[in-house]
Amino acid sequence: MASAIKNLSVYDDSNMPSTVGMSFGIVVSAWNADITHALYEGCLQTLLKHGVSEDDIRTVQVPGSFELPVGAKILAGAKRFDAIICLGCVIKGETQHDEYINHAVATGLTNLSIASGIPCIFGVLTPNSQEQALDRAGGKHGNKGVEAAVTAIRMASLRKEIAKPTSKIGY
């Protein structure tokens, strides 16, 4: 598996797009709060490190990961965010609840991204255990919150770049 050999937080920080004029929404799930708080810290610090001002970051909390898509839709409705980052952690239990939640969140965020045109980033851990979650929330595999912030900046930049009017040729 890729994450077994890859630190999620490793990226080329010298090759990041500008964040000038960008705003980001963050939706954080309250379930497994110790983990999602660590994801949030990694995400927030990465946005700040790349020049996003605190005034241009709006964070909201939702009860569980299942509510991440509707939380993202509420932020998308404000029409002022260049990307929306969704952070959650669904730990596998004795039943298949994790599969239903994960599938619903992934589908919901994909559909919202495509319908709204605003990148909604899937920063959700889907571990088999608390230990695997900790490994990916600031532990030996890095912090998926960092990865989510980097992805958000890159997608917001792509969106802005393509939306720019092209210069006229001649005349």
Where is 89: in which H helix or E strand? Answer: strand 83-89
Of 85 and 155, nearer to ligand DLZ (C-beta) is 85
Shortest Å distance, C-beta 150 to ligand DLZ? 22
CB-wise, 9 or 32, nearer to ligand DLZ? 32
Residue 131: burial class (beta carbons within 10 Å; 0-12, 13-18, 19+): exposed
Q: If you ran DSSP here, which 8-state letter would residue 139 be given?
A: E
Q: Can residue 91 be called a binding residue for ligand DLZ (CB under 6 A)?
A: yes
Taking the least distance from each CB to ligand DLZ, the nearer of 91 and 153 is 91
Give the residue numbers annotated as catalytic, written as ranges.
97
The Cα–Cα gap between 105 and 32 comes to 16
- Tokens found for residue 113: 């991204």
124-163 positions binding ligand DLZ, by CB under 6 A:
none
Q: Judged by CB under 6 A, which of 25, 88, 127, 145 binds ligand DLZ?
A: 88
Q: Is 38 exposed, middle or buried (0-12, 13-18, 19+ CB in 10 A)?
A: buried
Residues in the chain: 171
Interaction mask 19-38, ligand DLZ, x per CB under 6 A: ----------x-xx------
Residues of this chain that bind ligand DLZ (CB under 6 A)? 29, 31-32, 63-67, 88-91, 97, 101
